[in-house]
Amino acid sequence: MSESTAPATPLYVQTPAATFLRSLAVDRGLARVDLAGSVAHVEMLASVGILAPGEADTILGGLRQIAREIDAVTFPWRDDLEDVHTNLEVRLTELVGPVGGKLHTGRSRNDQVALDERLFLRESVAGVAHALLRLEDALRTRAEAEVATPMPGYTHLQRAQVVSVAHWLLAHWWRFDRDLDRLFATERRADRSPLGAGALAGSTLPLAPDAVARRLGFAGPVENSLDAVSDRDPLAELLFDLSLTAIHASALGEEIVLFAAREFGFVRRTPALGSGSSQMPQKRNPDVAELVRGKSGRTVGDLVALLVTLKGLPLAYDRDLQEDKAPVLDAVATVTEVVEALAGLVAGLVFDREALGVAARDPELYATDRAEDLVRAGRPFREAHAAVAADASGTPPTDPIAALARRSLPGGPAPVAVEVQLRHAEARRAERARSLSSLDRKAGLVEELLKEKTP
Ligand code: ARG
């Protein structure tokens, strides 16, 4: 709490419920995007003649000073001022005097917060995408070294047919690649600026929402002002995308937990997996994978919290919408951390090729191969299936590497097919990296707006 005193004229009606209405603890995380939105808004007000050039310069100087204060952690946050928007506006007026009162011209907190959320979404997508690329790189690098390492493939968690460690790792790779695709698509659909919508019905002033939108890197303004202040589809999509990523991460975490158990023994219990037990001296627990799995519940909870908040809200803005930020901020932070931890875990996995080799020599894994050999000799598949099922004992020893090589259809586990898969994955990675660097440039506009010299 700061020691500043309340402003002479409070911005809003004073209510005894003020404490309940507060959102500062959560939304102060949006301060930088909020300031960048204000910079673009002020430049636009000057360009249409609503602000004199000198007034705009003064306000812009104040906004950029506030950005520096936030950077230096010297900003005097005031809990009594409801939310981040009010804190920044009151501080501006403290710094530049009454001209600060012109900042909010033609704007409402309703279009302002909707803008902040879209800017936040943009940088969140970029942040999670960077982490996902690191995870993908770890999966691909590990796969490259294990193309010729056979392992049992499972259905119903029962040994089914032979695959390779590379093929297994890449199966997870494609899931995360679709996650990236979804995140980028979500960002593209959110690429519209709500500013200009005001509280709900625009403004009587000659604003230029299109110019503000472009200045902030958006494709244009939202088409409908009622939609602009109420649409939380981008956040719902983001939370779904993050939930699915968390679920994908948790599925990989689960397999690592299993494979590190002595019952499988495919993954060595190295310190990268986690810590030990406070009581049992022999323990090496796969804590990292477990926590990756565990944090998916909380992320899905965030998605459900937002969806239920949105259900049945009348147009346009309703105060319920204030509850959208906590789940979004939580899910972004959680999933970023999960994906980063998983990337480190995957990079440090040590496969026990010995144990994998023993498991991969299990004759049961080649029962289908034997049935297909009978098919090659002309037997109907149903008969071949029955013949192999009836004669589980008479299995000749199988060389897993040779057996793997026979599964060479596109998308299959044979080394030749996995090499093709790896090349496709690399090409896809290059494409994702290009999308991400253009997103990084757009996300960088926030810092540019806050640093630029007053025009
Ligand atoms: N703290 C509010 C929110 O997050 C800002 C918008 C407030 N608008 C209003 N009409 N009270 O939604």
| Phi, psi of 348, rounded to the nearest 5 degrees | -100, 5
Average pLDDT in the 322-333 region? Answer: 98
* The residue type at 331: A
Which tens digit of pLDDT belongs to each residue from 397-421?
789 999 999 999 999 999 999 999 9
The amino acid present at 236, given as its one-letter code, is A
Q: Please check whether residues 287 and 306 belong to one and the same domain.
A: yes
Dihedral of CA atoms 429, 432, 433, 438 in degrees, nearest 10, equals 170
Q: Give a yes or no: residue 12 inside a domain.
A: no
The reply to whether 414 falls in a domain is: no
343 with 294, same domain: the answer is yes
Beta bridge partners of 151: 163
Contact present, 196 and 221 (Cβ < 8 Å): yes
The answer to whether residues 94 and 114 belong to one domain is no
In a shared domain, residues 152 and 250: yes
**Looking at the DSSP assignment, which residues form a beta bridge with residue 153?**
161
Q: How far is the CA of 34 from the centre of ligand 1 (A)?
A: 13
Among 55, 71, 105, residue at a domain's last position: 105
Model confidence at 326: pLDDT above 50: yes
More confident residue, 443 or 11: 443
Q: Coil, helix or strand for 397?
A: coil
Tell whether ligand 1 has an atom less than 6 A from the beta carbon of residue 322: yes
Helix (H, G, I), strand (E, B) or coil at 99: helix
The whole-number pLDDT of residue 283 equals 87
Q: Is 132 in the same domain as 270?
A: yes
Give every CB contact of residue 308 below 8 A, 6+ residues apart in sequence. none
Which has the minimum average pLDDT: 116-130, 384-398, 422-436? 384-398
- Secondary structure (3-state) at 24: helix
Same domain, 139 and 84: no
- What is the average pLDDT score of the chain? 95
For residue 141, tell me if it sits in a domain: yes
Number of structural domains found in the chain: 2
Whether residue 92 sits in one domain with residue 187: no
* 373, part of any domain: no
CA of 183 to the centre of ligand 1 (A): 26
Say yes or no to pLDDT of 5 above 90.
Answer: no
Closest CA to ligand 1's atom 11: 319
The domain boundary residue, chosen from 81, 105, 129: 105
Task: Give the range of the structural domain holding residue 65, as residue numbers without chain letter.
Answer: 18-105
**Helix, strand, coil percentages in the chain from 3-state DSSP, rounded to 5:** 65, 5, 30
For residue 286, tell me if it sits in a domain. yes
Residue 364 falls inside a structural domain = no
Q: Are residues 134 and 255 in the same domain?
A: yes
Q: Where are the alpha helices (DSSP H) in 223-324?
A: 225-230, 233-260, 287-310
264 Cα to the center of ligand 1, angstroms: 53
Per-residue CA distances from 210 to 42, 195, 231, 234 (Å): 14, 9, 18, 20
Using the 3D structure, point to which of 82, 105, 128 is the last residue of a domain: 105
Same domain flag for 165 and 300: yes
Q: Are residues 341 and 307 in the same domain?
A: yes
- Residue 4 pLDDT: 45
Q: Do 115 and 184 have their domain in common?
A: yes
| Higher-confidence position of 360 and 3 | 360
Q: What is the pLDDT of residue 1?
A: 39
Q: What is the pLDDT of residue 11?
A: 81
Residue 216 lies in a domain: no
- Same domain for 236 and 279? yes
Cα within 13 Å of Cα(123), Cβ side: 18
Q: What is the CATH number of the domain that holds 62?
A: 1.10.275.10
Looking at the annotation, which residues are catalytic?
A: 156, 277
Q: Measuring CA to CA, which residue among 168, 135, 153, 120 is closest to residue 245? A: 135
